[in-house]
Amino acid sequence: MRHPVFFALLLGSAHLLAGCEDSSEASVSRAIDSVTSVDRQNLAELMLSAGSPDEAVSYFSAEVDSDPTNVQNLRGLAKSLVRARRVSEAIPVWRDVIAHPEAELDDRVMLADAQIRTNDWEAAEQTLNAIPPTHETFDRYRLEAMIADSKEQWDRADHFYETAAGLTTRPSGVFNNWGFSKLTRGNSRDAERMFMEALKHDPDLFTAKNNLALARADQGNYSLPLVRMNQQERAKLLYTMAIAAVRKGDTTIGRTLLEEAIDTHPQHYDEAVRALRAFDSGRTG
């Protein structure tokens, strides 16, 4: 549905041109087409940014059916399918996009992103390798870092993570991924530093808070990190550290942390209760 502002603009433009002495039917038609084009562009952007994923897929599917040669429609459909977590369906659409005469290098980057989401790492690497090295963007280096991680090319991964972080004003996700990479390598101290850096840029990123708790527990540090958290988050972090403690063999600490998580949670904490019962059953069984 078009926004009333666009209708007002449309009517206003038409009346203005109709009132001019040298106006013609053709010029009015061109003005209407121009405004309609702006209207559709704004609607497309709104669907991608604020619309529900399924509604966006329906919208862009209809747009592609009505104008299958429009690369913007194809690109919108591919992005919408990814947002709707229908990534396997998005990949052939991204291939149609990059085969289009008006395709951009960023479209290839987004194809690689979709391929990674479906765990097709080899195809994603091939897609990125086909992009000229002069195309230096945040998304490109973010994906390059993930691929290097998957191949355990740690120095290369660190280089790409660092480069990606410098190419965005919102690097929290990069630092979180980088920290998780460090954690999987067994470098929990550096991982903790990366998660703290992520939270410095986005204090509400719970994934980084949870990973930070894991990194501290891996070092035998079971005190909660000094970061902003609500009661529910506090309980979840205590639960995370409790499970990590039990897995490390620190069973007494693990049980204490589970009890604290249950007491801290503002509602009934079913996962922690089940874990505590299983723990006690295992000790007495």
Please state the CATH superfamily assignment of the domain spanning residues 54-129 in this structure.
Tetratricopeptide repeat domain (1.25.40.10)
pLDDT value of position 41: 67
User: Rounded to whole angstroms, how far apart are CA atoms 157 and 146?
Assistant: 7
pLDDT digits (tens, 9 = 90+) for 27-59: 544 444 444 554 666 777 777 776 788 888 888
pLDDT value of position 283: 59
Share of the chain above pLDDT 70, in %: 84
What's the mean pLDDT in 188-206? Answer: 96
Residue ranges covered by each domain of the chain: 54-129, 136-220, 230-285
Contact at 8 Å (CB) between 216 and 197? no
Topology agreement, domain 54-129 and domain 136-220: yes
* pLDDT top residue among 226 and 21: 226
* Nearest Cα to Cα of residue 156 among 165, 166, 146, 170: 146
Instruction: Give pTM, 2 decimals.
Output: 0.78
| From the candidate CATH numbers 1.25.40.10, 3.40.50.300, 2.102.10.10, 2.60.120.10, the one assigned to the domain spanning 136-220 | 1.25.40.10
pLDDT value of position 11: 34
